[in-house]
Structure 1
Amino acid sequence: MTVVVRAAHDFEAVRTMIGPKRPDASVCFCLSHRLPAKQNRSLVGPARGDYVRGLCESEIAPGVLAFDGDEVVGWAGVAPRSETSFARSTKIPHLDDLPVWSVWCLRVRPGHRGKGITASLLDGAVDFARSHGAPVLEGYPSDNGDDRIDLTMAFVGSRAMFEKAGFSYAGATSSLSGGFPRVIMRHDLH
Protein backbone atom coordinates (compact mmCIF):
# COMPACT_ATOMS: atom_id res chain seq x y z
CA MET A 1 0.00 0.00 0.00
CA THR A 2 1.30 3.41 -0.99
CA VAL A 3 -0.47 6.19 0.89
CA VAL A 4 -0.37 9.72 -0.48
CA VAL A 5 -1.52 12.65 1.68
CA ARG A 6 -2.68 15.88 0.13
CA ALA A 7 -4.63 19.01 0.99
CA ALA A 8 -8.37 18.38 1.36
CA HIS A 9 -9.68 20.33 -1.63
CA ASP A 10 -11.74 17.33 -2.86
CA PHE A 11 -15.16 17.81 -1.26
CA GLU A 12 -16.47 14.38 -2.26
CA ALA A 13 -13.49 12.71 -0.57
CA VAL A 14 -14.01 14.88 2.53
CA ARG A 15 -17.70 13.93 2.56
CA THR A 16 -16.74 10.24 2.36
CA MET A 17 -14.48 10.62 5.39
CA ILE A 18 -16.44 12.92 7.71
CA GLY A 19 -19.85 13.56 6.21
CA PRO A 20 -23.00 12.08 7.72
CA LYS A 21 -24.59 9.01 6.13
CA ARG A 22 -27.75 11.03 5.46
CA PRO A 23 -27.27 14.38 3.67
CA ASP A 24 -30.01 15.97 5.80
CA ALA A 25 -28.34 15.00 9.09
CA SER A 26 -27.00 17.81 11.28
CA VAL A 27 -23.86 16.10 12.54
CA CYS A 28 -20.11 15.86 12.02
CA PHE A 29 -18.30 17.24 8.97
CA CYS A 30 -15.64 17.97 11.62
CA LEU A 31 -17.16 21.36 12.44
CA SER A 32 -17.55 21.22 16.23
CA HIS A 33 -13.94 22.32 16.83
CA ARG A 34 -13.75 24.54 13.76
CA LEU A 35 -16.67 26.83 14.55
CA PRO A 36 -18.05 28.64 17.58
CA ALA A 37 -20.80 26.50 19.19
CA LYS A 38 -23.63 28.84 18.17
CA GLN A 39 -22.57 28.86 14.52
CA ASN A 40 -22.02 25.08 14.56
CA ARG A 41 -25.56 24.53 15.90
CA SER A 42 -27.03 26.89 13.31
CA LEU A 43 -25.70 24.83 10.40
CA VAL A 44 -28.32 22.14 9.94
CA GLY A 45 -28.83 19.50 7.29
CA PRO A 46 -27.32 20.29 3.88
CA ALA A 47 -26.01 23.67 5.12
CA ARG A 48 -23.22 21.79 6.90
CA GLY A 49 -22.03 20.20 3.68
CA ASP A 50 -22.35 23.50 1.84
CA TYR A 51 -20.15 25.17 4.46
CA VAL A 52 -17.49 22.46 4.18
CA ARG A 53 -17.63 22.59 0.37
CA GLY A 54 -16.71 26.27 0.69
CA LEU A 55 -13.80 25.38 2.96
CA CYS A 56 -12.57 22.82 0.41
CA GLU A 57 -12.72 25.46 -2.34
CA SER A 58 -10.76 28.03 -0.31
CA GLU A 59 -7.05 28.64 -0.78
CA ILE A 60 -6.21 26.83 2.48
CA ALA A 61 -7.99 23.48 2.65
CA PRO A 62 -9.74 22.42 5.89
CA GLY A 63 -7.23 19.63 6.48
CA VAL A 64 -5.54 16.75 4.72
CA LEU A 65 -6.74 13.50 3.14
CA ALA A 66 -4.90 10.19 2.77
CA PHE A 67 -5.37 8.20 -0.41
CA ASP A 68 -4.48 4.62 -1.31
CA GLY A 69 -4.47 4.95 -5.07
CA ASP A 70 -7.75 6.67 -5.96
CA GLU A 71 -9.50 5.61 -2.74
CA VAL A 72 -9.69 8.06 0.15
CA VAL A 73 -8.75 6.25 3.37
CA GLY A 74 -8.02 8.97 5.95
CA TRP A 75 -8.70 12.50 7.16
CA ALA A 76 -7.05 14.97 9.52
CA GLY A 77 -8.58 18.33 10.45
CA VAL A 78 -5.79 20.95 10.43
CA ALA A 79 -6.05 24.74 10.75
CA PRO A 80 -4.57 27.72 12.55
CA ARG A 81 -5.57 27.43 16.21
CA SER A 82 -6.90 30.98 16.00
CA GLU A 83 -9.57 29.72 13.57
CA THR A 84 -10.79 26.92 15.85
CA SER A 85 -12.63 26.56 19.14
CA PHE A 86 -9.23 25.78 20.70
CA ALA A 87 -8.51 29.52 20.44
CA ARG A 88 -11.18 30.10 23.09
CA SER A 89 -10.76 26.89 25.09
CA THR A 90 -10.47 27.19 28.84
CA LYS A 91 -9.47 23.52 29.14
CA ILE A 92 -6.63 23.43 26.60
CA PRO A 93 -4.30 26.29 27.52
CA HIS A 94 -2.21 28.46 25.25
CA LEU A 95 1.44 27.79 26.03
CA ASP A 96 2.80 30.96 24.43
CA ASP A 97 1.97 33.63 21.86
CA LEU A 98 3.14 31.68 18.79
CA PRO A 99 0.59 31.47 15.95
CA VAL A 100 0.32 27.69 16.28
CA TRP A 101 -1.75 25.42 14.08
CA SER A 102 -3.83 22.56 15.46
CA VAL A 103 -4.54 19.03 14.28
CA TRP A 104 -7.58 17.74 16.13
CA CYS A 105 -9.40 15.03 14.22
CA LEU A 106 -7.84 11.88 12.82
CA ARG A 107 -10.05 9.41 11.00
CA VAL A 108 -9.20 6.23 9.11
CA ARG A 109 -11.85 4.30 7.21
CA PRO A 110 -12.84 0.86 8.45
CA GLY A 111 -10.91 -1.83 6.61
CA HIS A 112 -7.82 0.38 6.44
CA ARG A 113 -6.99 0.71 10.13
CA GLY A 114 -3.75 -0.71 11.52
CA LYS A 115 -1.85 0.01 8.30
CA GLY A 116 0.03 3.17 9.33
CA ILE A 117 -2.40 5.62 7.76
CA THR A 118 -2.63 7.74 10.90
CA ALA A 119 1.15 8.15 10.87
CA SER A 120 0.92 9.28 7.24
CA LEU A 121 -1.88 11.71 8.15
CA LEU A 122 0.19 13.26 10.95
CA ASP A 123 3.21 13.57 8.62
CA GLY A 124 0.93 15.18 6.05
CA ALA A 125 -0.52 17.54 8.66
CA VAL A 126 3.03 18.62 9.59
CA ASP A 127 3.90 19.27 5.93
CA PHE A 128 0.59 21.08 5.31
CA ALA A 129 0.99 23.41 8.31
CA ARG A 130 4.65 24.05 7.48
CA SER A 131 3.78 24.89 3.85
CA HIS A 132 1.45 27.61 5.14
CA GLY A 133 4.08 29.17 7.40
CA ALA A 134 3.04 27.69 10.74
CA PRO A 135 5.89 27.76 13.28
CA VAL A 136 4.40 24.95 15.41
CA LEU A 137 1.72 22.28 15.03
CA GLU A 138 -0.17 21.17 18.14
CA GLY A 139 -2.34 18.13 18.78
CA TYR A 140 -4.47 17.37 21.84
CA PRO A 141 -4.56 13.56 22.09
CA SER A 142 -5.58 11.27 24.92
CA ASP A 143 -2.84 10.24 27.32
CA ASN A 144 -4.20 6.71 27.62
CA GLY A 145 -0.96 4.78 28.15
CA ASP A 146 -1.58 1.17 27.17
CA ASP A 147 -5.34 1.39 27.75
CA ARG A 148 -7.64 1.09 24.75
CA ILE A 149 -9.58 4.17 23.62
CA ASP A 150 -13.24 3.74 22.70
CA LEU A 151 -13.43 4.04 18.92
CA THR A 152 -15.96 6.89 19.05
CA MET A 153 -13.45 9.00 21.03
CA ALA A 154 -10.31 7.85 19.21
CA PHE A 155 -10.54 10.75 16.74
CA VAL A 156 -8.29 12.85 19.01
CA GLY A 157 -5.47 10.31 18.69
CA SER A 158 -3.18 9.05 21.42
CA ARG A 159 -0.04 10.50 22.95
CA ALA A 160 1.97 7.51 21.71
CA MET A 161 0.70 8.06 18.16
CA PHE A 162 1.82 11.69 18.24
CA GLU A 163 5.20 10.80 19.78
CA LYS A 164 5.84 8.32 16.95
CA ALA A 165 5.16 11.16 14.50
CA GLY A 166 7.82 13.40 16.06
CA PHE A 167 5.61 15.45 18.39
CA SER A 168 6.81 16.18 21.93
CA TYR A 169 4.85 16.54 25.15
CA ALA A 170 4.37 20.25 25.80
CA GLY A 171 1.84 20.46 28.61
CA ALA A 172 -1.19 19.19 30.45
CA THR A 173 -4.81 20.18 29.90
CA SER A 174 -7.94 19.92 32.02
CA SER A 175 -9.76 18.30 29.09
CA LEU A 176 -10.79 14.64 28.92
CA SER A 177 -11.60 12.42 25.96
CA GLY A 178 -13.08 8.98 26.47
CA GLY A 179 -12.29 9.28 30.18
CA PHE A 180 -8.58 9.91 29.60
CA PRO A 181 -6.71 13.17 30.16
CA ARG A 182 -5.72 15.06 27.05
CA VAL A 183 -2.25 16.51 26.66
CA ILE A 184 -0.70 19.12 24.41
CA MET A 185 1.74 17.62 21.92
CA ARG A 186 3.86 19.92 19.75
CA HIS A 187 5.91 19.60 16.60
CA ASP A 188 8.32 22.46 15.85
CA LEU A 189 8.11 23.27 12.14
CA HIS A 190 11.28 25.35 11.72
Structure 2
Amino acid sequence: MPEEPDWQTRPVTPDRFEDFADVINPRRRDTHCWCLSHRLSPREIEELGGGSREQAMRALCAREHPPGVVTYRDGEPVGWCSIGPRAEIPRLRSSKLIRPVDDVPVWSIICVVVRAGHRRQGVTDRLLAGAVEHAASRGAPAVEAYPVDPPGRMDLTMAFVGTRSMFERAGFRVIGTTDAVASRMPRLVMRRDL
Protein backbone atom coordinates (compact mmCIF):
# COMPACT_ATOMS: atom_id res chain seq x y z
CA MET A 1 0.00 0.00 0.00
CA PRO A 2 1.45 3.42 -0.98
CA GLU A 3 2.36 5.88 1.76
CA GLU A 4 0.09 8.86 2.32
CA PRO A 5 1.69 12.01 0.83
CA ASP A 6 3.09 14.68 3.13
CA TRP A 7 1.02 17.86 2.53
CA GLN A 8 2.10 21.30 3.71
CA THR A 9 0.81 24.79 2.92
CA ARG A 10 2.99 27.82 3.53
CA PRO A 11 2.72 31.58 2.88
CA VAL A 12 4.61 32.72 -0.20
CA THR A 13 7.40 34.63 1.49
CA PRO A 14 10.52 35.76 -0.40
CA ASP A 15 12.30 32.48 0.35
CA ARG A 16 9.40 30.56 -1.24
CA PHE A 17 9.00 32.80 -4.29
CA GLU A 18 10.57 30.30 -6.69
CA ASP A 19 8.12 27.63 -5.53
CA PHE A 20 5.21 30.01 -6.23
CA ALA A 21 6.65 30.79 -9.67
CA ASP A 22 7.06 27.06 -10.44
CA VAL A 23 3.30 26.69 -9.96
CA ILE A 24 1.97 29.83 -11.60
CA ASN A 25 4.59 30.76 -14.20
CA PRO A 26 7.16 27.98 -14.72
CA ARG A 27 8.80 29.70 -17.72
CA ARG A 28 9.08 32.99 -15.81
CA ARG A 29 7.57 35.07 -18.64
CA ASP A 30 7.13 38.63 -17.45
CA THR A 31 4.00 39.17 -19.56
CA HIS A 32 2.41 35.99 -18.19
CA CYS A 33 0.13 36.12 -15.14
CA TRP A 34 1.85 36.80 -11.83
CA CYS A 35 -1.50 37.00 -9.98
CA LEU A 36 -1.31 40.79 -9.73
CA SER A 37 -4.45 41.98 -11.52
CA HIS A 38 -6.50 42.38 -8.32
CA ARG A 39 -3.62 43.68 -6.22
CA LEU A 40 -1.70 46.26 -8.24
CA SER A 41 -2.38 48.85 -10.91
CA PRO A 42 0.09 49.24 -13.81
CA ARG A 43 1.48 52.34 -12.04
CA GLU A 44 2.06 50.34 -8.84
CA ILE A 45 3.74 47.56 -10.80
CA GLU A 46 6.08 50.20 -12.20
CA GLU A 47 6.76 51.63 -8.74
CA LEU A 48 7.26 48.30 -6.95
CA GLY A 49 8.97 46.34 -9.68
CA GLY A 50 10.44 48.83 -12.11
CA GLY A 51 7.83 47.65 -14.62
CA SER A 52 8.60 43.97 -14.03
CA ARG A 53 5.54 42.02 -12.91
CA GLU A 54 7.80 39.37 -11.38
CA GLN A 55 9.70 41.95 -9.32
CA ALA A 56 6.45 43.57 -8.19
CA MET A 57 5.17 40.19 -6.98
CA ARG A 58 8.47 39.58 -5.19
CA ALA A 59 7.94 42.88 -3.35
CA LEU A 60 4.42 41.82 -2.31
CA CYS A 61 5.82 38.59 -0.88
CA ALA A 62 7.91 40.61 1.58
CA ARG A 63 4.89 42.34 3.13
CA GLU A 64 3.31 41.52 6.49
CA HIS A 65 0.50 39.64 4.72
CA PRO A 66 2.04 37.82 1.73
CA PRO A 67 -0.33 37.59 -1.26
CA GLY A 68 -1.14 33.92 -0.81
CA VAL A 69 -0.03 30.40 -0.02
CA VAL A 70 1.74 27.54 -1.79
CA THR A 71 0.81 23.92 -1.15
CA TYR A 72 3.48 21.22 -1.27
CA ARG A 73 3.06 17.48 -1.76
CA ASP A 74 6.11 15.57 -0.55
CA GLY A 75 8.14 18.79 -0.74
CA GLU A 76 7.14 19.68 -4.33
CA PRO A 77 5.13 22.88 -4.90
CA VAL A 78 1.82 21.83 -6.50
CA GLY A 79 -0.72 24.59 -5.80
CA TRP A 80 -1.21 28.32 -5.30
CA CYS A 81 -4.05 30.20 -3.61
CA SER A 82 -4.23 33.99 -3.68
CA ILE A 83 -5.65 34.87 -0.26
CA GLY A 84 -5.43 37.91 1.97
CA PRO A 85 -7.44 40.49 3.87
CA ARG A 86 -10.10 41.89 1.53
CA ALA A 87 -9.05 45.37 2.72
CA GLU A 88 -5.58 44.75 1.20
CA ILE A 89 -6.88 43.70 -2.23
CA PRO A 90 -7.53 47.07 -3.91
CA ARG A 91 -9.50 45.90 -6.93
CA LEU A 92 -11.78 43.79 -4.78
CA ARG A 93 -12.04 46.47 -2.09
CA SER A 94 -13.26 49.05 -4.63
CA SER A 95 -15.39 46.66 -6.71
CA LYS A 96 -18.91 47.81 -7.53
CA LEU A 97 -19.77 44.24 -8.62
CA ILE A 98 -18.45 42.20 -5.68
CA ARG A 99 -19.51 44.35 -2.76
CA PRO A 100 -19.06 43.37 0.90
CA VAL A 101 -21.98 41.43 2.34
CA ASP A 102 -21.47 42.91 5.82
CA ASP A 103 -18.83 44.58 8.00
CA VAL A 104 -16.90 41.40 8.89
CA PRO A 105 -13.20 41.98 8.02
CA VAL A 106 -13.00 38.85 5.87
CA TRP A 107 -10.03 37.44 4.05
CA SER A 108 -10.72 36.73 0.38
CA ILE A 109 -9.67 34.02 -2.02
CA ILE A 110 -9.43 35.44 -5.52
CA CYS A 111 -7.50 32.79 -7.44
CA VAL A 112 -6.57 29.11 -7.22
CA VAL A 113 -3.99 27.36 -9.41
CA VAL A 114 -2.99 23.70 -9.45
CA ARG A 115 0.28 23.01 -11.22
CA ALA A 116 0.11 21.17 -14.52
CA GLY A 117 0.61 17.46 -14.03
CA HIS A 118 -0.98 17.56 -10.56
CA ARG A 119 -4.61 18.28 -11.39
CA ARG A 120 -7.41 15.92 -10.37
CA GLN A 121 -5.27 14.48 -7.58
CA GLY A 122 -6.80 16.12 -4.51
CA VAL A 123 -4.51 19.16 -4.50
CA THR A 124 -7.35 21.71 -4.42
CA ASP A 125 -8.88 20.26 -1.25
CA ARG A 126 -5.51 20.38 0.55
CA LEU A 127 -4.76 23.84 -0.86
CA LEU A 128 -8.04 25.34 0.38
CA ALA A 129 -7.70 23.68 3.79
CA GLY A 130 -4.19 25.13 4.10
CA ALA A 131 -5.31 28.59 2.93
CA VAL A 132 -8.12 28.68 5.49
CA GLU A 133 -5.75 27.49 8.23
CA HIS A 134 -3.26 30.23 7.25
CA ALA A 135 -5.98 32.91 7.43
CA ALA A 136 -7.15 31.61 10.81
CA SER A 137 -3.58 31.67 12.15
CA ARG A 138 -3.41 35.37 11.20
CA GLY A 139 -6.64 36.22 13.02
CA ALA A 140 -9.11 36.22 10.13
CA PRO A 141 -12.69 35.90 11.42
CA ALA A 142 -13.89 34.41 8.11
CA VAL A 143 -12.74 33.61 4.59
CA GLU A 144 -14.76 34.42 1.50
CA ALA A 145 -14.57 33.20 -2.08
CA TYR A 146 -16.41 34.32 -5.21
CA PRO A 147 -16.74 31.23 -7.42
CA VAL A 148 -18.97 30.55 -10.40
CA ASP A 149 -21.57 27.80 -10.39
CA PRO A 150 -21.40 26.40 -13.92
CA PRO A 151 -23.99 24.00 -15.34
CA GLY A 152 -21.23 22.03 -17.08
CA ARG A 153 -17.46 21.75 -17.14
CA MET A 154 -15.35 24.86 -16.74
CA ASP A 155 -12.05 25.42 -18.48
CA LEU A 156 -9.58 24.73 -15.67
CA THR A 157 -6.39 24.91 -17.71
CA MET A 158 -5.00 27.90 -15.84
CA ALA A 159 -5.97 30.02 -12.86
CA PHE A 160 -9.59 30.15 -11.87
CA VAL A 161 -11.95 31.47 -9.23
CA GLY A 162 -13.27 28.03 -8.37
CA THR A 163 -16.63 26.31 -8.34
CA ARG A 164 -19.33 26.08 -5.75
CA SER A 165 -18.72 22.37 -5.12
CA MET A 166 -14.99 22.92 -4.63
CA PHE A 167 -15.64 25.44 -1.86
CA GLU A 168 -18.49 23.42 -0.32
CA ARG A 169 -16.06 20.51 0.15
CA ALA A 170 -13.84 22.97 2.06
CA GLY A 171 -16.65 23.96 4.43
CA PHE A 172 -17.82 27.18 2.73
CA ARG A 173 -21.51 28.04 2.41
CA VAL A 174 -23.31 30.33 -0.03
CA ILE A 175 -24.27 33.64 1.58
CA GLY A 176 -25.22 35.57 -1.55
CA THR A 177 -24.49 36.42 -5.15
CA THR A 178 -22.56 39.24 -6.76
CA ASP A 179 -23.30 41.47 -9.72
CA ALA A 180 -20.18 40.05 -11.40
CA VAL A 181 -20.52 37.46 -14.14
CA ALA A 182 -17.93 34.89 -15.26
CA SER A 183 -18.48 32.73 -18.33
CA ARG A 184 -22.07 34.07 -18.41
CA MET A 185 -22.66 32.57 -14.96
CA PRO A 186 -23.34 34.64 -11.83
CA ARG A 187 -20.61 34.59 -9.24
CA LEU A 188 -21.50 33.49 -5.74
CA VAL A 189 -20.36 34.81 -2.38
CA MET A 190 -19.31 31.86 -0.23
CA ARG A 191 -17.99 32.13 3.29
CA ARG A 192 -16.38 29.97 5.91
CA ASP A 193 -16.50 31.37 9.42
CA LEU A 194 -13.43 30.69 11.56
Task: Report the TM-score when normalising by structure 2.
Answer: 0.87
Pairs within 5 Å for 1:116-155: 116-145=122-151, 147-152=152-157, 155=160
| Match of residue 86, structure 2, among 74, 81, 89 | 81
Secondary structure at the counterpart of residue 55 of structure 1: helix
Does 2:19 match 1:2?
Answer: no
Q: Offset at 1:27?
A: 3.3
On the 8 A contact 1:32/1:40 being kept in 2, the answer is: no
User: In the aligned structure 2, how far is the partner of 1:144 from the partner of 1:80?
Assistant: 27
Q: Secondary structure at the match of 1:151?
A: coil
Match of 1:107 among 101, 108, 113: 113
Structure 1 unaligned spans of 5+:
none
Moved segments of 4+, more than 6 Å: 41-46
Alignment partners' CA distance in 2, 1:183 and 1:161: 12
- The one-letter amino acid paired with 1:48 is R
- Letter of the 2:175 partner, please give it: A
Aligned 8 A contact 1:67 1:73 in 2: yes
1:32 paired with 2:43, answer no
In structure 2, how many angstroms separate the alpha carbons of the residues matched to 1:37 and 1:48?
Answer: 9
Shift of residue 38 of structure 1? 5.0
Structure 2, unmatched stretches of 5+, are none
SS in 1 for 2:53: helix
Tell whether the 8 Å contact from 1:168 to 1:186 is kept in structure 2 after alignment. yes
Q: Please name the residue that 2:74 is paired with.
A: 69
- Deviation string 1:79-138 (CA, Å, 9 cap, x unpaired) is 111111111111112111111110111000111111111111111111111111111110
Which amino acid in structure 1 is aligned with residue 165 of structure 2?
Answer: A
Report deviation, 1:178: 2.5
Structure 1's 154 and 17: CA in aligned 2 closer, same or farther, altered over 3 A? closer
Structure 1 residues 151, 41: CA separation in 2 closer, same or farther (over 3 Å shift)? farther
The farther-off stretch of 54-63 and 7-16 is: 54-63
Determine if the alignment matches structure 1 residue 91 to structure 2 residue 105: no
3-state SS, counterpart of residue 156 of structure 1: coil
**Percent of paired sites with the same residue:** 45
The one-letter code of the counterpart of 1:2 is: D
Query: Is 2:53 the partner of 1:48?
Result: yes
Change (3 A) 1:112 1:125: same
Does the aligned pair in 1 maintain the 2:24–2:115 contact within 8 Å?
A: no
CA RMSD of aligned residues (A): 2.2
Equivalent of 1:176, from 154, 163, 181? Answer: 181
Matches of 2:37 and 2:133 in 1, distance apart?
24
TM-score, length-scaled by structure 1: 0.89
- Check whether the contact 2:148–2:188 (CA below 8 A) recurs between aligned residues: yes
